[in-house]
A and B are shown apart, each in its own frame.
Chain A
Amino acid sequence: MPHQCTNCDRTFSDGSKEMLSGCPDCGGNKFQFKPAGADSVDTAAEPPDPPEPSGGSSVAQTVGKTAATVKDLMGSATAEESPTRSDGPDTTGPDRGDSRPSPEDTAQASARTDVVSVDELPAEPSDDGEHHFQPVQTDDPASARPTQTEPSESAPADRVSADAAEDDAEPTADQKPRADRPGLEELREELNDQFESIKVLEPGQYELNLMELYDREEYIVALQEDGRYSIQVPENFRD
């Protein structure tokens, strides 16, 4: 149940398209992302799924061929580590996520088969009540960056002014050392799957899909090593 409506608490499975047009139950359009095992999450909301890029745009046609080439290149470079996911986990329905016995779903399991065995995973991932994933390298000073995971509250909707560059505010409070690195690999894969503009291969190594970045209305303002990201949502995107 990676996604949860912040209004009525209805949960949605990863990759669910139900929420794209708002919560079917209450019509809410704010959702939070809940990684498996993070049941105590109750605070900030993660950005909702991005909209489908306008497929038939003239831009896409003009440079579509090049984009495809780049996509192919990117795909071949990372194919072995990207699990194929068509429609989210097939064993759990959108509403039954909470009843899963294991904190890990099948898609996640397949995502990390090359990495660790189930035995190596922490039995019951502890959670600090934050929806954030933990930084991979806890000794990295860069992880003490401002996070803005509430896109609906970011003030200027069209763009960040260039002057905001120096705006290095105080670090967030949830940057505590954690040892659950294997879990982060899965989460990164999962986010990579949902968010194809930027692939995080490992901390400090990124692959960018320029067409995706260009085609998106919202724009990424801050990245974390673990695949966490902040986006800025255009004005007409809300309500």
Chain B
Amino acid sequence: MGLLTDLKDSISRAASTLFSEENPKRIGIYGPPNAGKTTLANRIARDWTGDAVGPESHIPHETRRARRKEDIEIERNGATVNIDIVDTPGVTTKVDYEEFLDHDMEKDDAVRRSREATEGVAEAMHWLREDVDGVIYVLDSSTDPFTQVNTMLIGIIESQDLPVLILANKTDLEESSVQRIRNAFPQHETIPLSALEGDNMDEVYDKIAEYFG
């Protein structure tokens, strides 16, 4: 299926290049909680518009509603690429307020955060079904990528024939292993980066222009 998907991706990418004068592509930033999606969204938005998208946090599920930043103009090799980015809540199959109690949070707040996070996952899945033209899939390269959430989400994205760029984030961490992510999803190109430090963003923008331009 990987080969077929690759082929479809190439065709849709070629087609989208032909029609790049049309409306900006809406690119969803997806991934599990705490992968660095908002950090990346803020990095992209700040680099090209000067604004941020939303607050970042080391506590999981900081982003509980999808946030959109429209008409980001990225310049690559003399050409410009216009995209809307949608920073989505981290997708997971289990949300438990007790996880938040370790972060100095009162129970009431933890329960509320938990419920909002659950609503956020529902919203993220809804956006994936209806509203995105491409996906940036962000993974924390210091953790194991072989999870059901990742497998299932990438499976859904592939079945939708959406172009997907896999980013191995957090390369600034010692435990980071980009190769582990490449091995997990060999059918897709994996780009290493540190959204926090801004490392390798040039290549990220090159690939964004190539995939979603």
Contacts and interface: CB of A to CB of B under 8 A. Distances in A.
Given A62-B159, A140-B111, A206-B95, A165 B148 contact: no
Nearest to A141: B108
A140 B112 CA distance: 9
Interface stretch (B11-19, B115-123, B186-194, B197-205): B115-123
Interface string B152-168: 11011011100000000
A162 B115 contact: no
Contacts of B148: 66, 69-70, 73
Interface stretch (B60-68, B73-81, B137-145, B175-183): B60-68
Given A162-B86, A213-B121, A223-B118, A141 B93 contact: no
Given A70-B93, A214-B125, A165 B67 contact: yes
Interface string A42-70: 00000000000000001100110011011
Contacts of A70: 93, 148, 152
Nearest to A143: B112
A214 B67 CA distance: 19
Interface in A187-222: 197-198, 203-211, 213-216, 219-222
B122 A198 contact: yes
Contact of B122 (A139, A207, A219): A219
Given A140-B108, A214-B128, A222-B119, A204 B93 contact: no
Contacts of A58: 159
Interface of A: 58-59, 62-63, 66-67, 69-70, 73-74, 137, 139-142, 158-162, 164-165, 197-198, 203-211, 213-216, 219-225
B52 interface: no
Identify whether the interface residues of A are mostly helix, strand, loop, or mixed. Answer: mixed
Interface in B86-136: 86, 91-98, 107-108, 110-112, 114-115, 118-119, 121-123, 125-131
B149 interface: yes
A222 to B, nearest CB: 6
A210 B93 CA distance: 7
Contacts, number: 124
A59 B154 CA distance: 11
Closest 9 CB pairs of A and B: A204-B97, A204-B111, A142-B112, A63-B155, A165-B65, A62-B159, A219-B126, A213-B125, A204-B114
Interface size band for B: 35 or more
25 contacts: A62-B155, A63-B156, A67-B152, A70-B93, A74-B93, A139-B108, A140-B108, A140-B111, A140-B112, A142-B115, A159-B126, A159-B130, A159-B131, A162-B67, A203-B115, A204-B110, A205-B98, A206-B94, A207-B94, A208-B92, A208-B94, A210-B152, A216-B126, A219-B126, A223-B119
A74 B148 CA distance: 12
B1 A62 contact: yes
Contacts of B122: 197-198, 208, 213, 219-221
A66 B127 contact: no
Given A62-B159, A162-B65, A206 B123 contact: no
B123 A160 contact: yes
Given A66-B155, A210-B149, A213-B125, A198 B93 contact: no
Contacts of A198: 118, 122
A165 B64 CA distance: 9
